Each structure stands twice: as structure tokens, then as C-alpha cells.
Amino acid sequence: MTAWRWRHIGAVIVVYALLAVIYSVAIPLFETPDENHHAEYVRHLAAGEGLPVLDPGHSGPLAQEGGQPPLYYALGALLIRGGGLAWEETLPVRNPHANVGNPVQLGNKNRWLHGEDESWPWQGMTLAVHLLRLFSILLGCGTVYLAYRVACLALPDAGGLALAAAALTAFTPQFIFLSASVNNDNLAVFMAALVLWLLARAGWGGPVPMPSWRDSLVLGAVLGLAALTKLNALGLWLLAVIVLGERAFRGGMLGRMVGRLAVIMGVAIAIAGWWYVRNWRLYGDPTGLAVFLQMVGPRPRALTLTNLDAELEGLRASLVAVFGWFNLALPGWIYRVWDAFVVAALAGLAWWQWRRRRQAASTIQVRGGILVMLGLWAVLSILEVLRWTSLTPGSQGRLLMPALAGANIILLFGWSRWWPERRMWWWGPPAGMLVLAAACLPLLIMPAYRKPPLIAEGQVPPGARTPPVIIDQRIRLVGAEVTPATVHPGEDFEVTLYWQALAPAPYDASLFIHLLGPGQQMVGQIDTYPGWGMLPTSQWPAGPIIVDRYRMRAPGKLATPTLLKVDAGLYDRATGRSYTAQTANGEPAPVGTAVLRVLPPAGASPVSPQAPPQRGQVVFDERVRLDGYRLADAVVKPGDVLDLDLDWEALKPVGEDLQVFVHLIDAQGNHVGGYDSAPLGGWWPTSVWEPGQIVRDHYPLALSADLVPGRYQVQAGLYRLATLERLPAAGPGSVAGDAAHVTTIEVQPAPAP
């Protein structure tokens, strides 16, 4: 290669490696799929415990990954032993509330609990895992370089386009994420890129379309090593036979190619055959898939055309960027932009092929056979994945990574055909991927694993401070706040709890946050370890205040307006028992640490369409107005229940909690029945009423069974519960005693028995 090409591909590799290293540092241990099993496989070999044997009855720390071919793990073990490292056969503690496979669910993105033992300076297991991640990153560097070499062979006089194609692979966020993990897919991807380069060079890189004897030995060795890396690498064997056979047939050298293929396959079998013989002896299956599938479990339902769309959607998304344990996804529009790029690229490829058949001049030299080979490998890889996912749930984009580099060469070439002379446009997709990969770190990955901040006790906001609640004599809840304090149904809000550890907790307590509505009915719930799973109580430092934030959503179907109580506490997940919560005086803690106001949906009428008649409006203390009423029936009998609705309206902030009275008054002015209550049963007190807001409240006034027939007045008003002082009433409908005359009812005699 020229110095220009070395410099530019070197720059792409350096940027990729830098991003991958940052990813590997930012992602806590084992927060990539199955990394714990892969790392344990390496530890197993490094400790001299021999090759693992699958046992469906006892999966052990290696689980199903113990059936993987051993090359990646053996190389990792050599690295660990060469560095003099060792770690105990221990893994971090699992997060029992972990969210696996659901990007929509908030919090608990960590499948494991992470402590200070993972902090810098790294030691033991932490250091070993990071060294293995670095090994994976180096393999990724090799993959990017080989992708460039293949692209140069496919596009021999378009070095800029070949570089852009390699950069598209290097900067794909999912490729970087995979490279930053301990996973044998990294070696499988590298081996696939190496085989593609060897095949391209053998078929199109020389005067004769067949490999030399030396190249045949090398290709056979690489195919054998690939088969010792991952089972899906066996597809490369088929690809080699098809590509070399087709090239020899076209060149009239099919007989000579048979000998080369015999050497290639013979070397590959000599290198990898022992592994498959071992599997056959152990499991009665050369691949070991039968036992492997017993451990991972079969598909719950067969893969059909009706559910294939969902599988392909997950496959496509996780090929671009789905992080963590499939629980950190990008906004949907980003995947749609990628889809548009793929469609445009394939359309550009079709357009170029159509013009090529019409003998239109091409601006660059293209070896179409290499593009066909890359496309064939992509098809074979897709078929392998579909076959695998038809057996067990496994629609993961990383399984298609061996075909990514080749597919990107095809896609970027097709993309470039729309702008054959505008080379800056060629760099649009890789530049977009670079920006996306960099943005994913601060906007998606790092926040998912960030621990709650610590503040001094005096830094708790005054509005958030509450009477302390002491839990199990070890933990104190010193504050709680809800922001915003007022929402509509279906809207999000944030709950912030302020905790303080009084003494170290020898256990990991689970946290509950309950949203309680009228009648203490639970309408919302969160169960988690504190810090959305990132700061279990056993890690709480004594003294500082832990600022613990959670995002929740008001129920979409909720009778409004109302208050919701936000109740929080700690419990033992194993037993379901809540830890004792007391006030500073030793009394049981009250239910609810904060309140949330829920107003009617935006734009909705605050009252039902049948508006009540506006009769004799009465204003109480110039703050609250009784606008009207609705009465189910003005003619009743003794023992009935008078169903009365009153419409109240705040004229200005009330500023205090008042009680409502509804009294039944006879013709002599005597009080013969009544009903007293806080508005809406206490779930929408007057202190939260907003000016201009109509509040309709229901008052079931039970009539005495011995009530004398006649006409009775229904009066209503407001009073302070502490002093029984009524608010002054004024207006045309007011009566003596600071009450409002609502209506008159008639009580008829009860029917004779």
C-alpha cells in the first residue's frame, strides 16, 4: 500500500480503537451479553482445568458457552497466564431486579451489582477482564484493516471509497460495543474478514484465478482456526468451495482446482477436526448443538411468517446499536434513517448494474465478482442466523457481524453510485456512524450505569425536606419531592428520594415506590434496588445524603382531579417483608412521603357535559364559589340516600384545607341530617385547588328511616376542621349560618308494608 493509504486507514483504526477503549472502560463488567460466561471460560482454561463439558443438569458459571469451540478462550488464557494474572472463581452478585431485553423499561439496566472493586486501579478479575476486552479490541483493529484490504481489491482504483467502506464498519456502534467485550464473536468476525481477503486475493488478485499451493495451505489453516472459533464459521468452508470452484470453472481449470480444494479442506480438517470428533464422542453430535440447545432452551413458539417481522426488527436494530443486555436502544428514528440508507444503497447498486448492462461507462474499476462473493457470504450468514433463531430465541445482530464488513462494502458502493463524482457524499454514512457512536457514550451508555450523586446533609432542598423516617434503625429517609408537582394522566414525573445511611447495612434491601390513589388503591409501582439498581444498600456510605431519582408516569385512566400519594420504603425481596419504618418519636411512619397533583387531561372539560343549573351562586370568604348542583331525584322517601353533586370553583388560591358540610334542614330550621367530608374524600383538598378550576364532588346524604314526610332544605358550606369555624357566605343563595341554600327536596311517606 502507498504511504497515503497507510496513513488514512491507520487514522480510521486509531479513532475506532480510541472509541472502543472508551466503551470498554465505560461499560461495567459483564454488562454485555454473556460476557460473564465467556470470561469464565477463559479463567477455566487459564487455571488449567481443561476443556469444559456441557451438562444440562448443571450449567455452572460457563452455562451453554462451555460448548463453544476453544480458540478465542485459549488465546485469552495465554494472555492471562502470560501476564501472571489470576482471579477467583467468583462473579459479581446479580441484580434481582435486572431489566433484560426491554429497552422501554426504565432503570435496572445493570444485570450485575458493581462495587468499588471495579474501580481504578484495576486488580484481579477486573484487570483480567479489561485485558481480555483489549484483546478483543485488537481483533477489531485487524477486522477494520482487513475490511479495507478487501475493499481495495473490490475497488482497485477507488482508495477513498474503500477507506470509507472500512470506516463504516469501524464506526458502527454495535461493532464497537461488541469489540469492547469478552466474546468469541470478535475472533469469529476477524477470521471471517481474513477468509474474505484470502479468497478475494486468490480469485481476483493475480493472473490465475486460483490460489497457489502456499496460499492453499494458508487458507486451509485459517478455515481450520475459524472452525475452532465459532460454529457459524463453518459457513466459510462452503463459501470457499463455491467461490474457488466458480472461479476455476470460469477459467477452465476446474480439474486443477480440485487438488487445491483437497489441500485446503485437508488442512482445515487436520486443524479443527479433533474438536468435532470430541463433541461426537461426548454428546453423540459433532457440533454439540443438541446439548447446547438443551441448556439455552428451545423457542417458546415456532418461527413463522407472522412473527418473523418482529425477529427481523430486533435483528436489524441490534446490528446497528442495542447495548447492555438488549435493554439500551436508540430512538426509533435513527433505525429508520439506517433503513433509508440501506434502501438507497441497494437502489444505487441496482441502478449501477442496469447502466452497466447497457454498456454505460463506469467512473471506477469494479471487480463485481468480489461484490458477489461478499453478498453471498451475507446471504449465507443470514440463513445461518435464521436457522439458529428457528431453534432458540437468538435474533441478535452480533451473529451477523462476520458479514458486516463485506455488506458495508456493497452498501457504500451502491450509495456512492448516486454521487459518483461527489466524493464527500461517500463519507456521509461513516461520518454519521462516527457521530452516533460517540454520542451513545454520554447520552445512553454512561447514564445507564451512573450511581446516584452524594450530597451533604445541608444541601437537601428545603422544599424536599420531610420529617425523617428511620428504617431498620440503619437508614433514614430525610426528604422526598415530586417534579413537576402537577401532571395530567399519562404524563411523566420524577420522584427524588433523599436517603442517609446511619450505619452500614449488611444486606441489599429492595426499594418500593407506590402511587396510592383514593381508597389507598395502588395505581403505580416501582420495585428496584436503590439507584435504579446501581447502588444497593450494602454499598451506602454512612453520613452523606444519597440523591435517588426515579421517573414514573401518572396512570392514563384516572378519575381526576385527584392527589396521588407517593409512598416509599425498603423491603427484603426474599421474604417480601418490609423493614420497620418509624418516625423520630418511634411511632409508625405515615403512609406517603410526597404528593402528586393530577389534573384532568389537557383540553378536557372539568365537568360532565350535562352542566348543572346555576342557582343562587354563593361565594365563601371571597375565595371559593359554589356554582351549582346536580340532584338525582328531588322526591325521596325516608331511608333513601340523597345523591347530590356540588360544583365548586376556587376564585383565588385557598391556602388551607377545608371541610365541606351538607345539611338537611326541616321547616323549623332544625338540623335533621348531614354529611361532612374533605373534598373528593380528602384526595383533592382545597389547598391544591387552582383558580378557575371546577371541582365536582359527590355527597351521598343518607336519610333517616323515621324522617317525617315534608319539605326540607339542603344547605352546604365550608368550615375549618380544627376550630369548626365556618367560612362566611355571601350571595343571593346564602342563608343564615354562613351556608348556601342548594335546593329543596320533598320527602314522601314510605309505602305501607
Q: Residue 461 in contact with residue 481, Cβ under 8 Å?
A: yes
CATH number at residue 736: 2.60.40.770
Residue 464 has pLDDT above 80, yes or no: yes
pLDDT reading at 429 higher than 60: yes
pLDDT at 387 over 90: no
Whether residues 21 and 161 fall in one domain: yes
Q: Are 593 and 550 in contact (CB under 8 A)?
A: no
Per residue in 295-313, pLDDT (tens digit) is: 888 777 777 767 777 777 8
Do 265 and 218 fall within a single domain?
Answer: yes
The residue among 357 and 610 whose pLDDT is bigger is 357
Question: Looking at residues 152-181, what average pLDDT do you find?
Answer: 95
- The most distant pair of C-alpha atoms in the chain lies apart, rounded to whole Å, by 122
Comparing C-alpha atoms, which of 25, 131, 98 is closest to residue 446? 25
Residue 743: burial class (beta carbons within 10 Å; 0-12, 13-18, 19+): buried
pLDDT band for position 608 (50/70/90)?
very low
Beta bridge partners of 699: 644
Lowest mean pLDDT among 70-74, 401-405, 524-528, 602-606: 602-606
Cβ neighbour number for residue 324 with a 10 Å cutoff: 25
Whether residue 660 contacts residue 697, with contact meaning beta carbons closer than 8 Å, is answered with yes
The pLDDT of residue 611 is 46
| pLDDT for the residue 293 | 84
Query: How confident is the model over 130-144, as pLDDT tens digits?
Result: 999 999 999 999 999
Residues 355-377, mean pLDDT to the nearest whole number: 82
pLDDT digits (tens, 9 = 90+) for 730-746: 988 888 889 999 999 99
Q: Does residue 543 contact residue 459 with C-beta atoms inside 8 Å? A: no
Are 537 and 117 in contact by the 8 Å Cβ rule? The answer is: no
SS3 for 571? strand
* 118-127 average pLDDT score: 92
Which of residues 445, 472, 498 is at a domain's end?
445
Of 4-18, 319-333, 380-394, give the lowest mean pLDDT range: 380-394
**Bigger pLDDT: 3 or 662?**
662
Distances from the Cα of 177 to the Cα of 11, 24, 184, 413, 714, angstroms: 19, 8, 13, 25, 72
612 in any annotated domain: no
Same domain, 189 and 75: yes
Q: Is 600 inside any structural domain?
A: no
Residue range 570-582: mean pLDDT, rounded: 94
User: Of 445, 479, 509, which residue sits at a domain end?
Assistant: 445
CA-angle at 587, arms to 585 and 591, nearest 5°:
120
Query: Average pLDDT of the chain?
Result: 90
24 domain residue, yes or no: yes
> Which run of H or E residues covers position 493?
strand 492-501
What span, in angstroms and rounded, lies between the C-alpha atoms of 184 and 231?
11
514 and 582, same domain (yes or no): yes
Q: Considering only CA atoms, which of 484, 483, 463, 488 is closest in space to residue 693?
A: 488
Residue 89 domain-assigned?
Answer: yes
User: Using 50, 70 and 90 to split pLDDT, how confident is the model at 603?
Assistant: low
Tell me the C-alpha to C-alpha distance, in Å, between residue 417 and each of 52, 168, 534, 678, 705: 50, 16, 48, 73, 91
Check: CB of residue 128 under 8 Å from CB of residue 87.
yes
What CA–CA distance (Å, rounded) separates 155 from 540? 58
* Cβ atoms of 57 and 291 closer than 8 Å: no
Are 427 and 461 part of one and the same domain? no
Co-location of 59 and 159 in the same domain: yes
- Decide: 272 and 231 in contact? Cβ < 8 Å: no
Angle of helix 332-357 relative to helix 428-440, nearest 10 degrees, comes to: 160
- pLDDT at 557 > cutoff 70: yes
* Amino acid at the residue 714: V
Residues in the chain, overall count = 753
Q: 63 and 177 in one domain?
A: yes
Residue 111 backbone phi and psi in degrees, to 5: -80, -15
Task: Identify the DSSP state of 470.
Answer: E
**Closest residue by Cα to residue 324 from 429, 398, 408, 401:** 398
In a domain, 605, yes or no: no
Same domain flag for 424 and 467 = no
Angle between helical axes of 234-250 and 213-227 (0-180°, round to 10): 150
Q: How far apart are CA 481 and CA 534, in angstroms?
A: 21
Give the domain extent around 716. Answer: 618-747
Q: Which of 568, 470, 552 is CA-nearest to residue 512?
A: 568
Q: Which of 562, 595, 628 is the last residue of a domain?
A: 595
User: Stretch 573-588: mean pLDDT, rounded?
Assistant: 92
Contact 223, 268 (CB under 8 A): yes
Res. 360: pLDDT tops 70:
no
**Residue 476: which CATH number?**
2.60.40
Nearest to 327 by CA among 93, 550, 111: 111
Q: Do 206 and 273 reside in the same domain of the chain?
A: yes
Residue 515 — pLDDT band, cuts 50, 70, 90?
Answer: very high
The Cα 669–Cα 672 span in angstroms is 9
Compute the Cα dihedral for 326, 327, 330, 331 and give only its sign. positive
Same domain (yes/no): 501, 361: no
Bridging pattern class, strands 594-598 and 486-487: parallel
237-290 confidence digits (pLDDT tens): 999 999 999 888 877 777 788 888 999 999 999 999 999 999 999 999 999 988
609 within a domain of the structure (yes/no): no
Whether the pLDDT of residue 558 is over 90: the answer is: no
- As a whole number of angstroms, the distance between CA 10 and CA 3 comes to 10
Q: CA–CA separation, 701 vs 674, rounded Å?
A: 6
Q: What is the pLDDT of residue 206?
A: 66
| Edge-to-edge order in the sheet of strand 486-487 | 486-487, 594-598, 562-571, 510-517, 521-528
Residue carrying the nine cell digits 450485575? 112
pLDDT, tens digit (0-9, with 9 covering 90-100), for 432-463: 999 999 999 999 999 999 999 999 999 999 99
In the chain, the N- to C-terminal Cα span, in Å, equals 110
Is 602 domain-assigned?
A: no
The predicted structure's pLDDT at residue 98 = 95
Domain total of the chain: 3
Compute the distance between CA of residue 649 and CA of residue 693 in angstroms, rounded to an integer: 6
Quote the Cα angle for 252-409-337, to 5°.
Answer: 145
Same-domain check for residues 28 and 147: yes
pLDDT of 689 higher than 60: yes
Closest CA to 230 of 347, 391, 401, 349: 401
Q: In this predicted structure, what is the pLDDT of residue 752? A: 66
Of the candidates 685, 713, 714, the residue with the CA atom closest to the CA atom of residue 699: 714
Q: In which element (H, E) is residue 746 found?
A: strand 739-747
Burial 503-542 (b: 16+ CB within 10 A, else e): eebeebbbbbbbbbbbeeeebbebebbbbbbbbbbbbbee
Burial of 244 (0-12, 13-18, 19+ CB in 10 A): buried
Q: What is the pLDDT of residue 363?
A: 64
Structural domain includes residue 190: yes
* Residue whose grid cell is 471487480: 367
Residue 429 sits in the same domain as residue 508:
no
Q: Which residue has the higher pLDDT, 205 or 290?
A: 290
| pLDDT of the residue at 207 | 67
